A and B are shown apart, each in its own frame.
Chain A
Amino acid sequence: MTKAKNIDKLGFWERNKRSGGYLLRKKIIEIGVSVCRFILLFGMCFLILQPILNKISVSFMTEQDLYNPIVTNIPEHFTTANYKMASDVMSYPTALVNSIIISLTIAVLQIAVCTLVGYGFARFKFPLKKMWFACVILVILIPPQTIVSSLYLHFRFFDILGILNLITGQTINLRGSKLPYYLMSATCMGLKNGLYIYMIRQFFRNIPEDMEEAAYVDGCGMLRTFLRIMLPQSKPILSSCFLFAFVWQWTDGFYSKMFLGTTPLVSTSLARIVDSLGAYIQRISGIKTTISVAYSNCILSTGTLMIILPLIIIYLFAQRAFVESISATGIKM
């Protein structure tokens, strides 16, 4: 004890001398490693952030600045006209409201159903369980593009087991309505739902079963046990799965184009922004004009920024939920 105290009191060089140069060597290596680490990480973080920073600087430039080779990062003629233009072209306010409503409802629906299914897989023993779980894995693996052509026709000539055809002699055309996508979400077939089922199942499997067994012994039903005991415990995973569902639905182009094509959403209107820009300018000025590549790309960057802005805000507040959810599930094969 006293010896340890004595060593603490000694100066660095004295201690180094006593250890035969080992301490100095270790210190130098430590500093070297942290310098290298800083340079590497700084470079990689810059790599990831640079496109966003560039977009921000471009979005404030006038068209004149875009062609000026001297102006690269800081705009000479500061303007917010690009934002107004992008907002007009995308009909941003309507698209934003639509996107919020659809992403919220879809995410809530998907996560509610996926929680039920995930809990079912985690806690109950039933025949063919392995087979059904293999099906979940299959859902993760099958690219939606494989079945898209027949889904397209499926909803074009929608029919419930041929009943409608018998009664009215016709099928319903569900193309362009939102119903198909809600139906698919309610039955776990939406965007990346297999992944959510997998994550939620993993989380439930890690919770000890004691509490539930106690509840069963006290005469609590299965559904009530689930609602009263398991749900409150699973808040972290549910909130982060919800955030994932919301964000991925927000930026999704594939399902939105397939099923929600007629509803203006931020993701689909961003995908079309360059084409709509031409039409918009033509409508306003009345003459057919070609838009320069630089300007259309500038509007595209501005539009992209406007779309990811809500996501960045969400991420700033819920960063922990996003990142730690994946660790929380303790993924193992």
Chain B
Amino acid sequence: MKKQKNKLAGLQKRKAIAGYCFISPFIIGFLAFMVKPLFQSLHMSFSEVSLGSGNFSLALNGIENFKYAFRVDPEYTRLLVEELGRMVVYSLAIIVFSFFVALILNQKFKGRALVRAIFFLPVILSSGVILGLETNNQLMATLAAQIEDSTGGVSITAALEEILRTSGVGVRAFEKVFEVIDNIYDVAIASGIQIIIFLSGLQTISSSMYEAADIEGCTKWESLWKITFPMISSMFLVNWIYTVVDFCMRSDNAVIEKIQSVMIDQMQYGRASAMSWVYFVVILAFIGISSYLISKEVYYYD
């Protein structure tokens, strides 16, 4: 009996060692290229960095860099606040849009695979450098404007905007919505993966639930709120985190551009580190708080 127990412990031990062997590349990389630079950049953010030939030196100067970022630098605070505001608005818009599209794509119709492929296309095509280049291509903007003009100048959205503006209800909130609608292209190209995640969630809901609800006299609208929402609420959490992270790391993000210009053009490593740490902590706090709030609402079926 005792011997057997020993053997079991041996197998578990062997498995544990094998497990560590499998993940060892990650551990090495994490310690060497993540933890060390992370601490170093934290150190740098509290010090004055001077580059010499063959080496660089750090001299602690307290919170001087943070003071610079918030009080001296003319742009940083403004960019940070703006970028966070944009992030909240756009992430919400992306979640709503992708949920809506996933609902449509979950129905059966001809050419569904084609539409799904088209919606996923931006994940491939609008990544990395191409995204940044697309935003400042003036020729394309003028072309789009020309096409818009040539359609006869009747724009439903513009007319709706006009009506809602003159009615004067909640103008500030409407302004944000109008901004999102005008930039619907940005929303659409950023929601490829989210659509697929929602779709895979929708497909796991068994149709018998809807049938039962239908027989009991439940309308489509009610079953959307009472069945679909609770069943895929965990997907909302996944998508929210993915969207926020994706938005923060986009290469056309104004804060990141600012940090890069401070670091590479002005060679101010200490200040750049301080700025990026502030950015990172703010985002981490935001993700933490928002996902805690969402996860309280998440319903787990099993």
Binding site for B on A (CB under 8 A): 34, 37, 40-41, 44-45, 47-52, 54-55, 58, 66, 69, 72-73, 113, 116-117, 119-121, 123-127, 129, 132, 135-136, 138-154, 156-157, 170-171, 183-184, 186-189, 197, 222-223, 226, 247-248, 250-254, 267-268, 270-271, 293-294, 297-298, 300-301, 304, 307-308, 311-312, 315, 319, 322-323, 326-327, 330-333
Contacts and interface: CB of A to CB of B under 8 A. Distances in A.
Interface string B6-36: 0000001011111111110111111011101
A84 B61 CA distance: 54
A146 B280 contact: yes
B225 interface: no
Interface in B244-300: 245, 248-249, 251, 256, 259-260, 263, 269, 272-273, 276-277, 279-280, 283-284, 287, 295, 298
B59 interface: no
A270 B127 CA distance: 13
B140 interface: yes
A47 B23 contact: no
16 contacts: A45-B118, A48-B185, A119-B22, A135-B30, A143-B248, A149-B273, A171-B54, A187-B28, A187-B32, A189-B29, A252-B128, A294-B139, A323-B116, A323-B117, A327-B199, A331-B238
A329 to B, nearest CB: 8
Nearest to A129: B19
Contact of B117 (A149, A183, A300, A319): A319
B23 A132 contact: yes
Interface string B231-247: 00011011000000100
Contacts of B123: 322
A99 to B, nearest CB: 12
A124 B137 contact: no
B272 A149 contact: yes
Contacts of B122: 48
Interface string B132-151: 11100111100110110010
A256 to B, nearest CB: 8
A295 B235 CA distance: 45
Interface string B188-208: 110001001101100110000
B139 A304 contact: no
B40 interface: yes
Contacts, number: 268
B276 A149 contact: yes
B121 interface: yes
Interface residues of B, number: 95
Contacts of A34: 109
Contacts of A55: 140
B38 interface: yes
Contacts of A125: 12, 15-16, 19
Contacts of A331: 197, 200, 235, 238
B130 interface: yes
A151 to B, nearest CB: 5
Contact of A47 (B33, B188, B204, B260): B188
A326 B200 contact: yes
Contact of A146 (B56, B234, B277): B277
Given A141-B287, A148-B260, A188-B30, 18 more contacts: A44-B188, A48-B119, A48-B121, A72-B147, A142-B38, A145-B259, A146-B38, A146-B280, A148-B263, A188-B25, A189-B33, A222-B14, A222-B15, A250-B128, A271-B129, A300-B139, A301-B140, A315-B121
Contacts of B146: 69, 72
B111 to A, nearest CB: 8
Contacts of A121: 22-23
Nearest to B263: A149
A250 B269 CA distance: 28
A253 B128 contact: yes
Contact of B127 (A138, A141, A156, A251): A251
A154 B277 CA distance: 18
B234 A332 contact: yes
